[in-house]
Structure 1
Amino acid sequence: MNDSVYVLSSDVLMRSLIRYEPGHSLIRGSKLIIPEEILSKLEEEASKGDRFSVGALGEIIWLQELQGEGYIEEVRIEGHRGRGVDALYEIAKRYSAKVLCGDRITTLSLRARGVDVLYIGPKMDGLRIYDYFDEETMSVHLKEGAPPMAKKGRPGNFNLVKLSERRLEEFEVRTMAYEIIERAKTGPDAFIEAMYDDAYLIQLGNLRVLIAFPPFSDGIEITAVRPLVKVTLDDYDLSDKLKRRLSERAEGILIAGPPGAGKTTFASALAEFYREKGKIVKTLESPRDLQVGPEITQYGKLAGTFENTADLLLLVRPDYVIFDEMRKTQDFKIFVDMRLAGVGMVGVVHCGFPIEAIQRFIERVDLGVLPHVVDTVIFIRDGRIEKVYSLKITVKMPTGMKDVTLARPVVLVKDFETETVEYEIYTFGEEVIVMPVASREGVEEEASARFRLKRRKHTIVIDLGPAMADTEVTIYAGNREVATMITDSRGRLTLARSSPLGRRVMEAIRNDSLRVVPSERSEEDYEFSGE
């Protein structure tokens, strides 16, 4: 017969730790005491719909059933004066009992008070989340009632893979979730970045982990994201002109692109680039995703806001600050304030097209200040630099206007490599206008040659027919000239889908704006025909 007396902490009940080993064997033949405060708290939370509190009440009923079966000697609800850890301490001392606990911080606190504690929570080593990762895994997605999934590959070239046909049970996902949470509380390589009632954002080594519980989510979910590669700027196909720009002039840089495009990877490379040039570099991140060396300090939110962090950063006097993932209006205001204070700023923003990165600053900053805050926009897709814009302000008539009295300050958005103006931004009445500018102003649209489109797995074929063999033609997206090429002996142009030109042509096809015009036209009228 086991004469042990155990006091149960709330986490033991809410995590069902005594249903499984080693907890289940420990309680055999013992007396169990539950502090009255825990029962009251569980009743209160259960009435609000918290399913874990409902489950904990079910655990107490189950223990009472075990008492009836003779598996345990007694289950008792005990009154006390103290609250929280004090209640556990008071009851443990009163009955010379041990405390069964599944929370490491509570365990350490009770041991510091001289209480005998048995920790039966998750182990610190061998976290099961790591079992789902291999060298190619970008992220792992686990949810109760669903099979485990993972993204494998590289940014821009990945597949969503089912890791098992078996659906995960609620207990499995809950156990893994609490393993990660407990590791983050006391582990040397992990910390809790943000914590809410039903969600945790945790940095676990180089993993960014989001854990969601009901009712925030419809089931327990774990999403773990890992950076696959650490690169330098030399790994990108940067022109000498862009390298000089980054080295000498660019101090208000936006790194833009859709989610998963490789923006943070490029930002990490840029941070290391500035560090190697002898600059003091700091980062603003939440979560801290940038893969940088120890010489670069990564700052999170101070007292819950980046505004407080920025106030202290100005005292540190950095040369460059990398602001990862700007989303809220306050984030953009911090970027503007620090840039106008003379700090070199690199901001990371989500957007689908390059111009949208600039549009996110409109209405958040005066138009005349915009080019002084943002001078370079680098748009990344599929891990590659797809477009670079530079900004300049001038006074002129906006394109298309004829009256000289309409001249006004205009922000010119130029293709950095070609110096071609692609957009003009100006005020008209009370509105801010972002106007696309055709690359060939005043030139009438030329008729397109007839062609057929053939979409293959890795290429696009523009077939103009044998009559157009070995002919120089110009490809347009609407009125914008994209490229000039010479057809092959069968009158075809073959483009790689993954190339910059291939992606531009695909975009023009989607917009129904693709035209192919012979450089030397005959008297024959050509007409568009896409199949």
Structure 2
Amino acid sequence: MNVVPDTSAVVDGRVSERVEDGTYEGATVVVPEAVVGELEAQANDGRDSGWDGLSELQRLATMADEGRIDLTYVGVRPGAGRQDAADEGEIDAVIRDAAGEHDATLLTSDVVQAEVAKAKGLAVDYLEPVTRGVVEELPIERFFTDETMSVHLKTDTKPKAKRGTLGEMRYEVIDDEPTGDEQMREWATAIVNLARQSNDGYVELSDEGMDIVQYRNYRIAVARPPFSDGVEITAVRPIAKTVLDDYEFADELRERFLESKRGVLISGSPGAGKSTFAQAVAEFLNDSDYAVKTMEKPRDLQVGPEITQYGALGGEMANTADSLLLVRPDYTIYDEVRKTDDFEVFADMRMAGVGMVGVVHASRAIDSLQRLVGRVELGMIPQIVDTVVYIEAGEVETVYDVETEVKVPEGLTAEDLARPVIQVTNFETGRPEYEIYTFNRQVVTVPLGEDGEGSAETGVGRIAKKEIEREIRSVARGHVDVELQGNDDAVVYVEEDDIASVIGKGGGRITDIENRLGIDIDVRTHDEKPGRGGAASGSGGPAGTGNGQVGAEREQVVQPEITSRHVVIPMDEHVGDTVEVRAGDEYLFTATVGRGGEVQVSRGSAIAEELEDAIDRKQRITVVPARG
């Protein structure tokens, strides 16, 4: 009797099983090389099925040595193309051909393979597949207590967990015995199979080395080599179920949600309780007769059955958004908004008239708004997001109103500097805390003082000081110091030789700078600076005096490279140092050399335009350590 087993029968150990019960005693077992190649590929991918199949082949070799069967390998190993097409039946076809050529019975646990072989007139021995690693309950559930938010398991390490309340989480060892590799693999297989076979679970993502499972209220990430350096299981579950009334500002927030469709960002650090709050908002909106849907990857919000939870359609949330616009929800809960594509989808749905509630990781409330900057048009931000809720330790810590006003930014005085300003106001106090606007072609976020105004030391003061220094350095060759005297006054100290070039003919140049920045500037020499005691020259004077000579000696000529997004200045030294970049004898800007030994300037910025213009004119570009 000749028998040809396919990959499924070898993996399930059905060949040796049939030998043991006497069915195949004395038979000739013909193993196609295609089966060996498929098992090897699975083992290399870290899949248990590959290792189990190879173990079965070793058992068959032992049985052949004992004279219980004849074992032979036939055919050729399939190429990479056929291996890649295994899911399309290429390997199965090779195995069927081998059975036909050797007038053998095809042994399989694959029902499709069995039916195709019968249709081709082959003798078939079909056995039900072995159900492997099936459990009825989550095998790691014993690690969870009422206060456990997450369990962290990894091969050859002691199990750990995060336990406590939202405000007082502890990361602690929960078992003194390290978990072995065999146990971890068993748990990993059982968790994935349980999610696939149970009505209470599903596999959200399955890729080489990583499975993300949702089972009941547990979200479980299972990582295996080669993706990770060992089998790792991370299981997370919510430890609190809340309603909107449990939070501060509940009445006010209810009114805001009900009076019009809102654009809301729920922000906070990981584990702060953002998703718990989002669930409470979703349930409130649903109870208020709004059609509510969610967009999640993975889908782990604990909401009622009336709220449909959508994943990423075809792997893209943009596709999900297109589908949702046909469903026409009143509100959509987007968990989580992280990448540029997510912010763009959030913005598109908001502009289409859908109320949007997005969950965003941020260490401060204002940071969630700043993540929109550069991803959407600045002027559109208040139309996309009008409310920011910051969660800390499970509580509503801060609520911001976001709106646009055409005004002169706080800290500036000239009326012709009026522009659209995004004003971020504390909902509780009614006091503006931040302004976001374009200043000298750059988007800036300015924190306001206790009185709601930008101060000379923070916010607009820092930005104004930086811009004044940049403007003056563009015409001064020596060291420049800037001191703000208030929100609209500054004193600039320069070398005596630079006074004329800074002020300009008839005061025209300094007047032009004052008008552009909206700040009155008094130009003085370093000798006039309080506390100088009449020193003859500053430490950062021109070449030949003080540190200026050192800077000249360390001058480095560079060759900038222009890419699609940046102008890159490669450096041989000065990593982490602040340097001045010059074109010819003119100062361009000051920057810090990055870890990669280069300075990058975003194309399209004013600085980049000046630098590119200098490169086009074939000017000598040099870098020296910053002085002063």
Query: If the length of structure 2 is used for normalisation, what is the TM-score?
Result: 0.62
The answer on whether the counterparts of 1:190 and 1:203 sit within 8 Å (CA) in structure 2 is yes
- After superposition, the C-alpha distances for 1:165-191 in whole angstroms (9 at most, x for unaligned) are 221111111111112222333432222
Q: Is 1:331 aligned to residue 342 of structure 2?
A: yes
Deviation at 1:353, TM superposition (A): 0.7
| Paired positions, count | 430
Cα displacement (A) at 1:440: 2.3
Given the alignment, which residue of 55, 62, 67 partners 1:66?
62
Of all paired residues, the percent bearing the same amino acid is 39
Match of 2:232 in 1: 221
Which of 5, 8, 11 in structure 2 is aligned with 1:7?
5
- Partners in 2 of 1:224 and 1:71 — Cα distance? 49
2:409–2:435 Cα contact (<8 Å) kept: yes
Structure 1 residues 137 and 424: alpha-carbon distance in aligned structure 2, compared to 1, 3 A threshold: same
Cα deviation for residue 95 of structure 1 reads 4.7
Amino acid paired to 2:153: L
Whole-angstrom CA distance in 1 between matches of 2:161 and 2:68 = 43
Question: Structure 2: how far apart are the matches of 1:279 and 1:393?
Answer: 28
Greater Rg by CA: 2
Aligned to 1:217, what secondary structure does the other structure show? coil
Q: CA deviation at 1:98?
A: 4.8
Counterpart pick for 2:194 among 183, 191, 216: 183
1:121 aligns with 2:128: no
Distance (Å, rounded) in 2 between the aligned partners of 1:125 and 1:389: 47
Equivalent residue in structure 2 for 1:439, among 450, 456, 472: 450
DSSP-derived class of the 2:433 partner: strand
- Residues 182 and 425 of structure 1: is their aligned pair in 2 closer, same or farther, counting only changes over 3 Å? same
1:391 is aligned to 2:402: yes
Q: CA deviation at 1:413?
A: 0.5
1:256 and 1:351 in contact (8 A); partners too: yes
What residue is the counterpart of 1:304 in the other structure? 315
Paired residues of 1:85 and 1:110 also in contact (CA < 8 A): no
1:295 aligned to which of 286, 292, 306: 306
In 1: Cα distance, 2:419 partner to 2:438 partner: 8
The reply to whether residue 262 of structure 1 matches residue 309 of structure 2 is no
Match of 2:253 in 1: 242
C-alpha offsets along residues 272-305 of structure 1, whole Å, 9 cap, x if unaligned?
A: 1001110000110010111111111111111110
- The alpha carbon displacement at 1:137 in A equals 2.3
- 329-338 vs 81-90, greater mean Cα deviation: 81-90
Which residues of structure 2 form unaligned runs of 5+?
Answer: 79-88, 119-123, 457-628
Match of 1:161 among 169, 172, 192: 172
Correspondence 1:83 to 2:83: no
Is 1:421–2:417 an aligned residue pair?
no
Q: Please, which of 25, 38, 41 is the counterpart of residue 38 of structure 2?
A: 41
| 8 Å Cα contact 1:390-1:416 kept in structure 2 | yes
The equivalent position to 2:423 in structure 1, one of 403, 412, 424, is: 412
Q: Which amino acid aligns with 1:7?
A: P
Counterpart of 2:202, as a letter, is: F
Q: Provide the C-alpha distance between the structure 2 equivalents of 1:254 and 1:390, rounded to a whole number of angstroms.
A: 11
Match of 1:354 among 365, 373, 378: 365
The 10-residue stretch of structure 1 (180-189 or 303-312) with the greater mean CA deviation from structure 2:
180-189
CA distance in 2, matches of 1:36, 1:349: 52
Equivalent position SS for 1:146 = coil
Shift of 1:42: 4.5
Q: How far, CA to CA, are the matches of 2:9 and 2:238 in structure 1?
A: 33
- SS of residue in 1 equivalent to 2:401: strand
| Cα distance in 1 for residues equivalent to 2:111 and 2:181 | 26
More contact order relative to length (CA 8 Å, sep ≥ 6): 1
Distance 1:148 1:229 in 2: 23
Q: Output the CA distance in 2 between the equivalents of 1:355 and 1:164.
A: 40
8 A contact 2:155–2:184 mirrored in 1:
yes
Q: Which one of 284, 289, 301 corresponds to residue 278 of structure 1?
A: 289
Pairwise CA distance, 1:250: 5.8
CA drift at 1:121: 1.1
Contact 1:261 1:380 in 2 (8 A): yes
Structure-2 separation of matches of 1:132 and 1:25: 37
What is the CA-CA distance between 1:334 and the residue it aligns to? 0.7
SS in 1 for 2:153: strand
CA distance in 1, matches of 2:3, 2:327: 55
Whole-Å separation in 2 of the counterparts to 1:320 and 1:253: 11
2:177 aligned counterpart, secondary structure:
coil
Indicate the SS of the match to 2:337: coil
CA 1:188–1:24 in 2, change beyond 3 Å: closer, same or farther? farther
Q: Deviations over 1:426-450 (max 9, x none)?
A: 00122100000001267999xxxxx
Q: Do 2:7 and 2:53's aligned partners in 1 also have CA atoms closer than 8 Å?
A: no
Shift of 1:331: 0.7
Q: Within 5 Å, which residues of 2 pair with 1:88-103?
A: 95-96=104-105, 98-99=107-108
Offset of 1:44 from its aligned partner? 5.5
State the Cα deviation string for residues 177-212 of structure 1 (Å, max 9, x = none): 112222333432222211221211121222111111
- Contact 1:425/1:435, CA 8 A, preserved across alignment: yes
